[in-house]
Amino acid sequence: MKFHKTILAAFGVAATIALSGPAAAQEPIIIKFSHVAASNTPKGQAADYFKKLVEERTKGRVKVDVYPNSSLFKDKEELEALQIGAVQMLAPVPGKFGPMGVKEFEVFDLPYIFKDIKAVHRFARGPAGTALLKKLEPRGLVGLSYWDNGFRVMSANKPIRTPDDMRGLKMRINSSKVNSAIMQSVGA
C-alpha cells in the first residue's frame, strides 16, 4: 500500500499579516481555506479543527473560512486560485505540484516506497521533506506542512488479490502521471 499525503500550502498569509497596519488591526485577517473533500471526511474534519484552533489561539484576530467539497474552486482550479490570491490555503495531494514543475512531489505517488507510516513521517519531517516544501516558494507558494490522508486503498466489485485482478477495471485515481502509469501497468 502506498501512503497518500496531502500538503497544507498557504499563499499570501504572511503578506496579509505584514500589510495589516494599525487601521486594519480591528478587522480580523480572513484566510480562505479551500479543499475538495466532504466535511464529514477526515480531511474535512481536520480542516474544521484547524479553523477552530487558529481562531481560538489568535483570539479571533484570524478567521478561517473553510470551503469544503470543491464549493469554492474545483480540484483542477485550486492551485491557480491559490497562486492569484483568491484563496490563501489548500490541502492538495502532492501529485498536484508535478504539473507545476515540482515533479519531486510525485515520490508520494510511488507504490511501496515507504515501509510504514513512521517511515513516511521520518521522510516528511526530515531534510528531504523540508527541501521539497522549499521548492514551492519560487512558484509563490509556502508549504507549511504535510498532512496525512490515509493509505492507498483499492476497492472494486470483485476481490483484488493480485495485480492481475485489476486488469480491465476502471479505477478512480488522483490525477498524476505516476498514478496513471501504475494503473496502466496493471491493465486498469
Question: Tens of pLDDT along 133-157?
Answer: 999 999 989 999 998 876 677 788 8
**Residue 78 predicted with pLDDT over 50:** yes
C-alpha angle 52-54-55 in degrees, rounded to nearest 5: 65
pLDDT of 63 over the 90 cut? yes
The mean-pLDDT minimum among 2-6, 75-79, 139-143, 157-161 falls in: 2-6
Q: Is 110 within 8 Å of 178 (Cβ atoms)?
A: yes
Model confidence, pTM: 0.75
Same domain, 138 and 170: no
Determine the structural domain holding residue 144 and report its residue range.
Answer: 3-153
Q: Closest by alpha carbon to 62, among 48, 52, 76, 72?
A: 52
Grid cell locating 37: 473533500
Domain co-membership, 123 together with 162: no
Structural element, H or E, at residue 183: helix 177-185
User: Can you give the pLDDT at residue 39?
Assistant: 94
Same domain, 107 and 183: no
159 and 149 assigned to the same domain: no
pLDDT digits (tens, 9 = 90+) for 165-187: 999 999 888 777 888 888 899 89
What band does 4 get if pLDDT is binned at 50, 70 and 90?
very low
Q: Do residues 74 and 165 share a domain?
A: no
Are both 44 and 71 inside the same structural domain? yes
State whether 115 and 178 are in the same domain: no
